A and B are shown apart, each in its own frame.
Chain A
Amino acid sequence: MKRAKWLVPTLYILFLMLPIYWLISMSFKTTNEILGAFSLWPREFTPDNYITIFTDPTWYNGYFNSLTYVVVNTLLSVSVALPAAYAFSRYRFLGDKHLFFWLLTNRMAPPAVFALPFFQLYSAVGLFDTPMAVALAHCLFNIPLAVWILEGFMSAVPKELDETAYVDGYSFWRFFIRIFLPTIAAGIGVVMFFTFMFSWVELLLAKTLTAVEAKPIAATMTRTASTSGYELGLLAAAGTLTIIPGAFVIYFVRHHIAKGFALGRV
């Protein structure tokens, strides 16, 4: 019995980590070795795949494009969702509950539904193949999510805090920026994490709305073969680099996410 205590979690973690290990291991192999004999670790250890990615503009521009629209989208979503969530949490107005629910329904439709109208629309206004196009398109599902999460965090703050600040002489904006935002900092962290992640992993809209100039890394990675044949090692290296930003963000907001779960909004 004593042995089983560590055995089950160890096996579980092993199974979880195996694909990631395989990816990292592949990224240090040559394509010939990957396609050749089965090997648990790189026989001929090579950093060439990473060097290619960091020197070839078709690769590193993919990262640059992706990071651009992800960051723009995150900032846009949070700054738009903050006032919206405040209104939903603090005021009662005609149809507020319906509107709040309607916002969420935007998340229920698959992005493919919106791909065609977005493509047509952005082409018409000249936004096609720019990071802004993807950043705006991702707002479709990120803003409702951000409003939903932030509303939960804001409603957990008693309304009396707002009123105490007004009684003390604070104007609305001074209160909002100096007192209210720091109070819900955890919620903003959680929202930034989720908007960042959803935008980072979304492929369909990002691929449809870009061609050459603003091609995201995920789209570049779907290119499995080139003139020089299969480039599996290169793809593995690109995949490894794609995991890093997410892991980085998770590390910073891990405590806040637990709080979000406790509020039932994540």
Chain B
Amino acid sequence: MAIELKRVTKVVAGDTHIHATSLKLEEGRFNILLGTTLSGKTTLLRLMAGLERPTRGEIWFKGRNVTGLPVQQRKVAMVYQQFINYPNFTVYDNIASPLKVVRMPPKEIESRVHKVAELLQIEPLLKRMPGELSGGQQQRTALARALVKESDLVLLDEPLANLDYKLREELREELPKLFHDTGATVVYATTEPAEALLLGGYTATLHEGRVTQYGPTSSVYRAPGDLLSARVFSDPPINTASVSKRGERFHYNESVSWKAKGRYAGLADGAYTIGFRPHHITLAPGSSESISVVGNVVVTEISGSESVIHMRVGKDTWVSLSHGIHSLKRGQGVELFVQTDRCFYFDKNERLV
């Protein structure tokens, strides 16, 4: 167990930023905190780093209670969304600074800095000042400083958010590999579900200061424990609808119904909420379990080879992600197909059934 939060709560000026959160992160794992802005990702990272003290609860690190321990005495590293480097130090001194503070022999500092700089491909820049570097190079310097310490816990707060698209892709690919070899526990905060999926590892979904679910990234995506987790882990947002089960069939708006199959066949009759991702509601039937729904187009956006169609069905507004370019007019009637076998069924308490 690398780090464990035991019912950690953070209240700032009467405002609860983090509700009693318990989370165990295993050693050497790549963990992702996924949530929208203000969902508490940064606060959670700062609590783990020791930059902030929890109002209640305890933080354990490698079997030791570190709740009140100042940040200097914890072996952690942190990288921010903004490119933070010491502006008056060269890149070399920037990377070497955490080692100099602990008075490591100069020979070892030199070899470590060069090794890390090589890994991050910034060796030719070691003599420059951070102000002379591009954004990507600055963030590589910050990452090198986090890496060179060989900390047990590395906290990354949306490190790629301020980079342009190409650089982001490049670094995103390198990141998990870089930290995997050091055996460090990584916590990576992001707002983008797609990024979480690309990075893999383990994901904790956050919503308004609560961890709604934690598990391997792909299983959190494929089986969200509740509606909130499903909402957090979907971009464009997941579609929802209220349905009722009567006998063998689910009914939606009295006009649409489908047969409950597999594990859903045994569900008790009553009201349920279904959730389905935008690419499971398409202009063409996606599978044999697809059912047809008729609605009106609100707006259509075209992104390359895909069309995002916002539509209104009864009182619900849904988003569909369909292949091909479809320019549909506003208000136009449209028939879309929902793959009922890909729907998530949630009960009255919004838990997955």
Contacts and interface: CB of A to CB of B under 8 A. Distances in A.
B76 interface: yes
B268 interface: no
A167 B88 contact: no
B149 to A, nearest CB: 7
B97 A167 contact: no
B49 A167 contact: yes
Given A163-B51, A163-B78, A164-B78, A169 B84 contact: no
Nearest to A170: B101
Nearest to A92: B13
Interface string B66-92: 000011100011101010101111000
Interface string B256-286: 0000000000000000000000000000000
B210 interface: no
Counting chain A residues whose Cβ lies within 8 A of the other chain, the interface size class is: 10 to 19
Interface centre among A160, A169, A171 (most CB of B within 10 A): A169
Interface of A: 158, 160-161, 163-171, 174, 179, 182-183, 185
Contact of B72 (A160, A166, A185): A166
B145 interface: yes
Nearest to A181: B88
A169 B86 CA distance: 14
Interface residues of B, number: 22
B88 A182 contact: yes
A168 B87 contact: no
A169 B87 contact: no
A179 B88 CA distance: 7
B200 to A, nearest CB: 26
Nearest to B101: A169
B301 to A, nearest CB: 35
Given A163-B49, A164-B78, A170-B101, 18 more contacts: A160-B82, A163-B71, A163-B78, A164-B142, A166-B70, A166-B72, A167-B49, A167-B76, A167-B78, A168-B77, A168-B97, A168-B145, A168-B149, A169-B72, A169-B101, A169-B102, A183-B86, A183-B88
Residue with the greatest number of chain A CB neighbours at <10 A, chosen from B80, B89, B145: B80
B237 interface: no
A160 B82 CA distance: 8
- Of B49, B87, B145, most buried by chain A (CB within 10 Å of CB) is B87
B98 interface: yes
Contact of A160 (B80, B98, B101, B102): B80
